[in-house]
Amino acid sequence: MNFRALFAATVAALVGSTSATTCTTTQQTAAYVALVSILSDSSFNQCATDSGYSMLTATSLPTTAQYKLMCASTACNTMITK
């Protein structure tokens, strides 16, 4: 899966969880399953370490330098290919 698409999906799920609009049980379950699969992936923490960018605590998109580090990281590339 493309890292930017993965990142966008994660952000969308997080933003959606703070929206006033109520999600259906099916939507909540799908978002939870998607996030758990991302967060439990062994490459997730290593990618954050390699790039200096943590999707869990991020308040903005990665910088150009962080994108370059992500592209150079084996762990990040492993996540991209999933």
Amino acid 62: pLDDT: 94
- DSSP 8-state symbol, 63: P
Domain that holds residue 48: 3-81
79 band by pLDDT with thresholds 50, 70 and 90? confident
Amino acid 34: pLDDT: 83
Q: At 74, which CATH number?
A: 1.10.239.10
Give the model confidence (pLDDT) of 1-12 as tens digits: 566 666 666 666
Predicted model pTM: 0.59
Amino acid 61: pLDDT: 94
In sequence order, which residues have a C-beta less than 8 Å from that of residue 78 and are 6 or more positions away?
43, 47
Alpha helices in 19-63, H assignment, sequence order: 25-39, 42-51
Give the model confidence (pLDDT) of 29-66 as tens digits: 888 888 888 888 889 999 999 999 988 889 999 999 99
Q: How many domains does the chain divide into?
A: 1
In sequence order, which residues have a C-beta less than 8 Å from that of residue 49 and are 6 or more positions away?
75
C-alpha–C-alpha distance, residues 23 and 16, integer Å? 8
